[in-house]
Amino acid sequence: MSIAIVTGGASGIGRAIATALVARGDTVVVTDIDGEGAQKVADRLNGLGRGRAASAALDVTDADAVSDVYKGVKAEYGSLDLVFNNAGIAIGGLAEELTLDHWNRAIDVNLKGVVHGVHAAYPIMLDQRSGHIVNTASLAGLVPMPIGIPYTATKHAVVGLSLALRAEAAARGVKVSVVCPSFVDTPLLTNVNPGLPETAMSGNAKDDIKKASPRLYTAEKLARDIMRGVERNRALIVAPAHGRAAWRGARLSPGGAVRAAQWAVRRLTG
């Protein structure tokens, strides 16, 4: 049985990860800025009759709050085995539409939120000489995704952070993986730029996104991929198959990947 923390666990990928963990018998602390939503998920998971779930309201942009929750879990349960730094925000719009508020919000949540989770979890795991940090990035962290450049930039940063930390941590008993899914059917697609100046992609962008990527993956299938990748200690967990194909294509032909992104721009703005 593992002791796990999942950020952004009230919905979408985070909820699916927490469900998969409890289903296999783990103890999971579901955290989210929506504390009530996190509590509802934990209550539902406790009805599965396998693992256990608790919840905590957590804003991942607050480094002290993240540290307090992670240290509190270690103190209460005696270990911290798995951390899923998953909380994120969707930022969309053409470059000329974006304000510094869009950029700063993406950096604060998508990048610094992961930094805060790593900064809190890594010392605990070093002391234990065990543990696994799993950071959620995106296929947008591996290929050039336009019409949401702040999102793309932060996800590239999370990939780089994770792979470099993996290299440092390997000899010290700590594992690090990064999750890079293609478009997943989650509430993020219907809540783009929340609380930020509007762009053409603000609000419900699901139909627009499906023009460029009609095959949306489910969070539940992704959670299975993630669990399998964690069990195998994969450095990069890229899913689904068409996402892996896009990643390989970008590695083989960066220019071709940019041309594919140009096609997506035409589909979305034409």
Given the residues 70, 77, 122, 151, select the one marked as catalytic. Answer: 151
The chain-wide mean pLDDT, for the chain, equals: 95
The per-residue pLDDT for 85 is 98
CA distance 18 to 26: 9
| CB contact at 8 A, 69 and 175 | no
pTM: 0.95
CA distance 195 to 217: 26
Region for 24 from its dihedrals, namely left if φ exceeds 0, alpha if ψ lies in -120 to 50, beta otherwise: alpha
CA distance 84 to 72: 16
Domain total in the chain: 1
CATH for 10: 3.40.50.720
**For residue 178, which of 128, 122, 212, 133 has the smallest C-alpha distance?**
133
Kindly give the parts of the chain with pLDDT less than 50. none
Name the token pair of 212.
């460029």
Domain that holds residue 125: 3-269
- 3-state SS, residue 87: coil
Catalytic residue flag (residue 151): yes
**For residue 12, which of 154, 212, 202, 221 has the smallest C-alpha distance?**
221
First to last CA, the chain: 51
The per-residue pLDDT for 214 is 67
